[in-house]
Structure 1
Amino acid sequence: MRAVPLMDGPVELRGALDLEITQAGVMPRRLPAWTKEQYQDPSVHGVTLMPSGVRLVFRTDACALELEVLTTTGQLDSDPEPRPTGMLELVVDGVLTGRRRAPVGNVVRMAALGAVQRLIPGGPGTVRFSGLPAGMKNVELWLPQQTPTELVALRADGEVLAPLPDGRRRWVHHGSSISHCIEADGPTGTWPVVAAMLGGVEVINLSQAGNAVLDPYVARTIRDMPADLISLKVGINIVSLAAFRLRTFGPAVHGFLDTIRDGHPDTPLLLVSPVSCPAVEETPGPTAVGPDGKITALSDPAAVAGGALSLAVVRAELARIVAARRDRDPHLHYLDGRELLGPDEAHDLADGLHPTAAAYRRMGKRFATHAFANDGPFH
């Protein structure tokens, strides 16, 4: 096995907009380095380190590959085991050919969610993929979507070359945890990746679990990066955090769109409203997790009359905004998120909010059917 450089070599690290040099190796981040100074909430930093959609891309004639990584996962003191680290997946010439569980490295212990954290240092682990087809092939090594993963070393028993241009369009997507897809059964099971593979495009997933609240630095990031297609899934975090009122929500959406349009005036842009979530369909947030482990709304439906936001209000406002802008922005489109997962599928929301792994795959297929159809917004 021969060492392959992770930086300044043949390997492309796609889906990451920043590479942070650490003591162990290289940590991918899904937002540019300059954004760090623009947020204080540690959860934002944490989810940008979770490499949803991040993959190593190269060509090789190797029959065996080894990837050494250092993961960081959490563990409540009441839990006997750390949280699952997720899967590393190998795609060869567009076909999923191998899955390996990511090794446990560092463990962050805490008495309860949000409590003081204690780092239990761990060491790197190695996953090996063998029995690859003979000859030169296109390889993608996908990192686990839910676990910060430092890249320590890549080794191959053959030649490794840079990938060739394949002509695929670049789709940039931003959304909440329901686009980050922590609950998916692997990195290629997230609905944006499922849709991208069906649509023949390359996806960059800038989704941030719990943090899709129209942050201006995200809009500027999208404005400044290459994109052939753009989609934004907006609403659930805004309702669950009670982050806006009706008075401020509309202007914030307009401002977010205006910033993106400064860099991509004619790029197809699909604005997607929230999928079904029974707890907040008619009742505004904020939300909390109830004794049954399911999300519950803490407000009152009557608060909508005073400007509080429920999902029903958010969907109506997003549809209104798109309709109002369409005359001067014909490449702007709207999709009701309930077409991806509707009210009759509430059984697929284990905690009342997040879809199951099977539901994520179904959402990806439905998105692809809509967006990449002959008359679809991404055709």
Structure 2
Amino acid sequence: MSEQTNKINVGNLDSNMTVENVQDTSLRWLSPLEPPFRIDGFPWIAKEGKYRRLPVAPADDLPEAVHMLANCTAGGQIRFHTNSSKLSIKVKLTGSGDMYHMPATGQCGFDCYLGAPGSEHFWGTAAFDHTKEEYEAQFYDWKMKREINVKLYFPLYQGVQEVWIGIDPDAELDAAPSLARAKPVVLYGTSILQGGCASRPGMAYPAILSRSIPLEFVNLGFSGNGKGEPELARTIAEIADPALFVLDYEANIASVEQMASTLPVFIRILRERHPTVPLLVISKIRFAKERFDEGMLNMHENLKRIQKETVERLKQDGDANIHFYDGSELLGDDFSECTVDGVHPTDLGFLRMARALEPTIRELVNPHLH
């Protein structure tokens, strides 16, 4: 056999690995900011018209990193009903794919799910050149009209300046079915909550939960920077009529003292605006190195203890709607095999997290499902 010196181009060897530059000039292009599209996951979009998870100009000065990360569109969804035989998307991002341990499909791509709320199934992910900040991608071309409910998930770790939906010129377009109630589940936390490092947007654990529990899920995970700041609590408290608050920010906390000082204040601020809304505090998942690093494991156990004791104390003081969940159980005994880097879950890890949390979250939001 002769010596091989050429660089391997997998796309030349496997057609399933190629990116087709599909530009369909026959389509009618529509903005999802206009009716009858429904957009979930951006609480301030009706007022500001921005694909952004926090207000553009919040009343409180937020940490600069949080302000920037709020432009990442994790948790955003576009929903609609159509009979179009074709479906494509045009996207203008704020940057290109640049992460070493997270696929560009998760960082910068859109996921397409089909079906009614509570029974959506994955169809496909936008195929695009990860080095570009703009792309057009085709989700399907069925060659025939077909009635379907569509849900598109926004990118997890990049901003979206513009997005356009392409359908047949003569296709019908209607609003997606309404969710059970117009009450969002609001989750606040870390890079893990934001979706690092899911292979595609639909596999972040709040996204998985949104397909089994038909409510809006607002993903306020801020990578490395959700640290329980009171400014964030006051901003989040502005969200009207939530079904549930979830606080999952332990992984961003550097000390027991920091957790002990931030958590009670954060909860108190939320309670000033929402005194009876269910509130779930989740301690973090196990990290791989905790098997070998006793100091790291002890830190995790102490932070978990502070969270549990805070919840128990507030219960004793009369808050009947606050709850604690031990997150160290979420990934199972083989937790170290469920991450990319020992910290951030793979799709398997996120699926385990969502399935473990679903019964608890479903019970807490049950009054809003009828």
TM range (shorter): 0.7 to 0.9
Q: Deviations over 1:222-258 (max 9, x none)?
A: 312131122111211113xx5xx52x53232111001
Residue 288 of structure 1 is matched in structure 2 by none
Residue 172 of structure 2 is matched in structure 1 by 159
Deviates more, 1:130-139 or 1:155-164: 130-139
The sequence identity of aligned pairs, in percent, is: 23
* In 2, Cα distance between equivalents of 1:364 and 1:196: 10
**Does 2:259 match 1:249?**
yes
* In 2, Cα distance between equivalents of 1:66 and 1:344: 39
Residue 213 of structure 2 is matched in structure 1 by 199
The answer to whether the 8 A contact 2:88-2:136 is kept is no
| CA RMSD in angstroms, aligned pairs only | 3.1
The answer to whether the 8 A contact 2:288-2:335 is kept is no
Taking structure 2 as the reference length, the TM-score comes to 0.77
1:4 aligned to 30, 41, 49, which one?
30
* In 2, Cα distance between equivalents of 1:133 and 1:91: 19
**Does 2:279 match 1:269?**
yes
Residue 84 of structure 2 is matched in structure 1 by 62
1:38 aligned to 53, 61, 81, which one?
61
The answer to whether the 8 A contact 2:250-2:259 is kept is no
Q: Cα gap change, 1:269/1:206 in structure 2, threshold over 3 Å: closer, same or farther?
A: same
Q: Cα gap change, 1:232/1:133 in structure 2, threshold over 3 Å: closer, same or farther?
A: farther
The answer to whether the 8 A contact 2:62-2:232 is kept is no
Q: Cα gap change, 1:377/1:19 in structure 2, threshold over 3 Å: closer, same or farther?
A: closer
Taking structure 1 as the reference length, the TM-score comes to 0.76
**One-letter identity of the residue aligned with 2:62:** Y
Q: Which has the higher strand share?
A: 1
Q: Deviations over 1:22-78 (max 9, x none)?
A: xxxx8511111123972353x4344322221111122222222221002322548xx
**Does 2:164 match 1:141?**
no
Mapping of residues 87-236 of structure 1, within 5 Å = 87-94=109-116, 95-104=120-129, 122-131=133-142, 134=145, 136-157=147-168, 158-168=171-181, 169-225=183-239, 226-236=241-251
1:323 aligned to 282, 301, 312, which one?
312
Residue 237 of structure 1 is matched in structure 2 by 252
The answer to whether the 8 A contact 1:183-1:354 is kept is yes
Q: CA deviation at 1:270?
A: 0.6
2:104 aligned to 84, 90, 98, which one?
84
Q: Deviations over 1:264-313 (max 9, x none)?
A: 211111110111125467536xxxxxxxxxxxx9xxx7xxxxxxxx2211
Residue 118 of structure 1 is matched in structure 2 by none
The answer to whether the 8 A contact 1:333-1:377 is kept is no
**One-letter identity of the residue aligned with 1:314:** L
* In 2, Cα distance between equivalents of 1:324 and 1:255: 13
Q: Cα gap change, 1:196/1:75 in structure 2, threshold over 3 Å: closer, same or farther?
A: closer
The answer to whether the 8 A contact 1:52-1:143 is kept is yes
Q: Cα gap change, 1:132/1:178 in structure 2, threshold over 3 Å: closer, same or farther?
A: farther
* In 1, Cα distance between equivalents of 2:61 and 2:125: 36
* In 2, Cα distance between equivalents of 1:36 and 1:211: 19
* In 1, Cα distance between equivalents of 2:73 and 2:229: 19
**One-letter identity of the residue aligned with 2:184:** R
* In 2, Cα distance between equivalents of 1:8 and 1:254: 40
Gaps of 5+ in 1: 21-25, 108-121, 285-296, 302-309
* In 2, Cα distance between equivalents of 1:37 and 1:339: 36
Residue 51 of structure 2 is matched in structure 1 by 28
Q: Cα gap change, 1:123/1:269 in structure 2, threshold over 3 Å: closer, same or farther?
A: closer
Q: Cα gap change, 1:134/1:263 in structure 2, threshold over 3 Å: closer, same or farther?
A: farther
Q: CA deviation at 1:136?
A: 4.3
Residue 51 of structure 1 is matched in structure 2 by 73
Question: How many equivalent residue pairs?
Answer: 326
Q: CA deviation at 1:84?
A: 1.8
Q: Specify the SS of the correspondent of 2:320.
A: coil
Gaps of 5+ in 2: 1-26
**One-letter identity of the residue aligned with 1:34:** A
* In 1, Cα distance between equivalents of 2:276 and 2:358: 21
* In 2, Cα distance between equivalents of 1:360 and 1:64: 31
Q: Cα gap change, 1:102/1:18 in structure 2, threshold over 3 Å: closer, same or farther?
A: farther
1:283 aligned to 295, 312, 315, which one?
295
